[in-house]
Amino acid sequence: ISFSVLEMSQVIKSAPSSPLGKLNRKVGDLSLNKTPGSASRRGNVSLFGGKTPNQSFNHSSIFGCAGGKQGGRGLTKRDLTPSRNPNRTFNGTTGGGDRFIPSRCQTQFDYANYMLSQPEDSTFNTSLSAPNSPQKNPEKEGMKQMMRTKSSSDMSTFNDERIFVYKKNMAPPPPTGHLNQPKVLYSTSALATSSVRRTARHIPAVPERILDAPSFIDDYYTNVLDWSSTGLVAVGLGFDVYMWNSETGAIDHLIALDENDDGNTITALKWDADGKYISLGTMDGTVRLYDPERCTDPNTARELRKMTIDRSCRTGVLAWRHHVVSAGHRSGQILHHDVRVARHQIGEFVGHTQEVCGMKWSPDLKYLASGGGDNIVNVWNANDLTSSNPAPVYILNEHVSTVRAIQWCPWKPTTLATGGGTQDRTLKLWDVNGGRMMKSIDAGSQVTDIIFNSDYKEVMTSHGIPDFEIKIWKYPNFSEVATLGGHTARVLSLAQSPCGQQVMSAAADESLRIWNCFKIDKSTAKLAQRKALGGSIR
């Protein structure tokens, strides 16, 4: 409401003794400037700050916000700090409002949670004071009973329930009476396990190293390559034995036999289990024993033992069992020599009608498997080494060609693998517990040697006519993993390193090739080690 100054003056004059009159006289005597000494300079100033009365009462003149100059009289305008928002203007009011804080003491959170958790089709009691009616849904009663049972049981009994399952269709079924079927997470990926592409490990298609092997005998019935447990590779080349150190790469001429005697042609060699001694078999049937550390000069190297037989008969294969070395001969005999005693021949196995060219002891040294040119595989018991007239435990006669490739499975000691010759071209698996054939695989060519790899559970085979290849198979389905080529003639022998990661192949093209085909990833090796230790981290 606006009043003119003249009208107010008349009212005050008409009633000098009224409270408003007294107030005007007192206000006129006061100075609005509180600065000391200013009263003497400016004189008394009335509430409305000027001699000439304004036409209307304006509140802004009291707070010094009135526009125009007043000659220094009254409260002057104070410049405010510019706002960060140029569009914001001062509205003339002070003490703006703060944020709104609601009062939640009356909010019923429990009731709201109950209402949200109820199914859409359920009936509920709208009364806030009356208790709920008895539950009539039998499924909910069953749910409550199951939750009571779970809450009262021991948490250690939940080990049979798996939350994360990484294989398709392997999640456990929900418990009986459970209503929420997606309780178990069936897969960690939105895609099916079968649709996720699995990357195969890299297998080098070329050898890591190639060594020349002049005078290597191209004979299917000889075995002149072996890799010791100490990392030394020995190869027989005619009348000489050379040794290659896999750690240093050094090549040494270990033994040189007399070239004037054809009976000294090396036809078989084999390291013992400790890698300290090497045995040689020659064309005349003699078995020689050497210590590589004493062979400083190949021309003067003297054998530790020289074990001869009654008649000249080529030795085609050798096999060690502790201190006994067994030799397979062209006559079909297998002679056992004890290297510790003077009368070295302690036993004989007679079961082949043609030359013995393949022979291996089982990992537990209980059985000896032998193969020959009569297409037969015989399995012998180690307890019969010294028997007078032993007979094979099993006679396996499913092959239709010479059996040279023989190998036992290291992680299944009762599983035997054999490979047939040119007319057979098959790889067969046998169970020696019952003497039955478990599987037969068409290899496509002559099988010359077999190696098992324990780290990847794979099988490597070398082949002759007509492919001259090396193949890697996945055990036990025998799907082909890789094919390694490079040899220009039939591959006759395979030798595996002590660590199992490298394999050396010897072929009739007079070359030795080193394949780094079973390299172990460090993370995979650590995981396998933890599993072997029962899951503990060492």
- DSSP assignment letter at 50: S
Which helix or strand (DSSP H or E) is residue 118 part of?
Answer: none
pLDDT of residue 142: 72
Show Cβ contacts of residue 265 under 8 Å, excluding neighbours closer than 6 positions: 217, 238, 239, 282, 283
CB-based contact 373:392 (threshold 8 Å): no
3-state secondary structure of 527: helix
Residue that the structure tokens 């009539």 belong to: 136
Burial of 388 (0-12, 13-18, 19+ CB in 10 A): exposed
CB-based contact 438:397 (threshold 8 Å): no
Enter the pTM of the model.
0.63
3-state secondary structure of 287: strand
17 inside domain: yes
3-state secondary structure of 494: strand
38 inside domain: yes
3-state secondary structure of 481: strand
3-state secondary structure of 5: helix
pLDDT of residue 406: 98
Residue that the structure tokens 């007192």 belong to: 26
127 inside domain: no
Gap between the Cα atoms of 31 and 46, Å rounded: 7
443 inside domain: no
Residue of 184, 183, 203, 187 lying closest to 195 (CA atoms): 187
pLDDT of residue 373: 96
Gap between the Cα atoms of 103 and 112, Å rounded: 17
40 inside domain: yes
Gap between the Cα atoms of 46 and 39, Å rounded: 12
Burial of 48 (0-12, 13-18, 19+ CB in 10 A): middle
Tell me if the bond preceding 134 is cis, omega within 30° of 0.
no
Token code pair at residue 7: 């009208």
Show Cβ contacts of residue 488 under 8 Å, excluding neighbours closer than 6 positions: 468, 507, 509
Helices (H) and strands (E) in the chain, counts: 6, 28
Gap between the Cα atoms of 13 and 194, Å rounded: 105
34 inside domain: yes
Tell me if the bond preceding 476 is cis, omega within 30° of 0.
yes
Quote the domain boundaries for residue 40.
Answer: 5-61
Q: What is the pLDDT along the chain (538 residues), one digit of tens a residue?
A: 444 544 555 555 555 555 555 555 655 555 444 444 444 444 444 433 444 444 444 444 433 444 444 444 443 444 545 555 555 555 555 555 567 777 777 777 777 777 777 666 555 555 554 455 554 566 667 767 766 665 555 555 545 555 555 555 555 565 555 555 554 444 444 445 444 455 578 899 999 999 999 999 999 999 999 999 999 999 999 999 999 999 999 999 999 999 999 999 999 999 999 999 999 999 999 999 999 988 878 877 778 999 998 888 999 999 999 999 999 999 999 999 999 999 999 999 999 999 999 999 999 999 999 999 999 999 999 999 999 899 999 999 999 999 999 999 999 999 999 999 999 999 999 999 989 999 999 999 999 999 999 999 999 999 998 889 999 999 999 999 999 999 999 999 999 999 999 999 999 999 999 999 999 877 666 656 666 666 544 4
22 inside domain: yes
DSSP-H helix ranges across 15-157: 19-28, 38-42, 109-117, 138-152
Tens of pLDDT, residues 16-56:
555 555 555 655 555 444 444 444 444 444 433 444 444 44
36 inside domain: yes
Tens of pLDDT, residues 474-514:
999 999 999 999 999 999 999 999 999 999 999 999 999 99
- When divided into structural domains, the chain yields a total of 1
pLDDT of residue 534: 61
